[in-house]
Chain A
Amino acid sequence: GAGVSQSPRYKVAKRGQDVALRCDPISGHVSLFWYQQALGQGPEFLTYFQNEAQLDKSGLPSDRFFAERPEGSVSTLKIQRTQQEDSAVYLCASSLAGVNYGYTFGSGTRLTVV
């Protein structure tokens, strides 16, 4: 597609519920990133994929967070047993590998845990 597409745009989850957030990167982009943006803050790195390989997951805040990209295109960020502190906008971005410019972000999924 023309841009990075994320779904759903909004998600309300009850505390303890599992959620899955989807990202469709720009076609041909081998690098994919997930960022978490709390209200009033800048985005913070969660994890990075190159094709299907998860090369860096150092930003995932706990073992309740899990990301996958099994075929090197669509990615899913899963959060198990959601907590209120998980409420944030989750941004996905993609880029061409080995090219030095800022990558393209999607519009994000706003997760609210109640």
Chain B
Amino acid sequence: GQQLNQSPQSMFIQEGEDVSMNCTSSSIFNTWLWYKQDPGEGPVLLIALYKAGELTSNGRLTAQFGITRKDSFLNISASIPSDVGIYFCAGRPDAYSGAGSYQLTFGKGTKLSVIP
């Protein structure tokens, strides 16, 4: 089945530093999503990407959908303590469908620790 390789597995950074993490797939996805999960909570959507090459920002977060449709990256600028958590990429093969599965395939996550 499809697999997502997410790296790095964990990161320790100083407050104020920029962060970059990425995700690669063995097959093509038509939608890429980035989620953040805090302890004891469900994943929360940060950014959604729908077109190859698309670059989207949400505040200090920027994500890109790779041209090959097999990869995506997420950047966080000027990190703050509340950025701590686990970040997941997720891919979906169908960009838009009125019927059928919206099944997501998730990476294993990047655990981010921010040192004040």
Contacts and interface: CB of A to CB of B under 8 A. Distances in A.
Given A41-B108, A43-B106, A100-B95, A55 B45 contact: no
A91 interface: yes
Consensus secondary structure, chain B interface: loop
A59 B104 CA distance: 11
Contact of B100 (A42, A55, A101, A108): A55
B116 interface: no
Contact of B42 (A31, A56, A108): A108
Given A101-B48, A102-B35, A42 B107 contact: yes
A97 B98 CA distance: 7
Interface in A1-50: 4, 31, 33, 40-45, 48, 50
Interface residues of B, number: 30
8 contacts: A33-B103, A42-B90, A42-B108, A55-B101, A97-B98, A103-B45, A104-B45, A108-B42
Contacts of B4: 42
A40 B96 contact: no
A44 B101 CA distance: 14
Nearest to B107: A42
A41 B86 CA distance: 10
Interface string B54-96: 0000000000000000000000000000000000101000011
Contacts of B97: 98
Contacts of A50: 99
B90 A106 contact: no
A102 B90 contact: yes
Interface string A70-114: 000000000000000000000101010110111111111000000
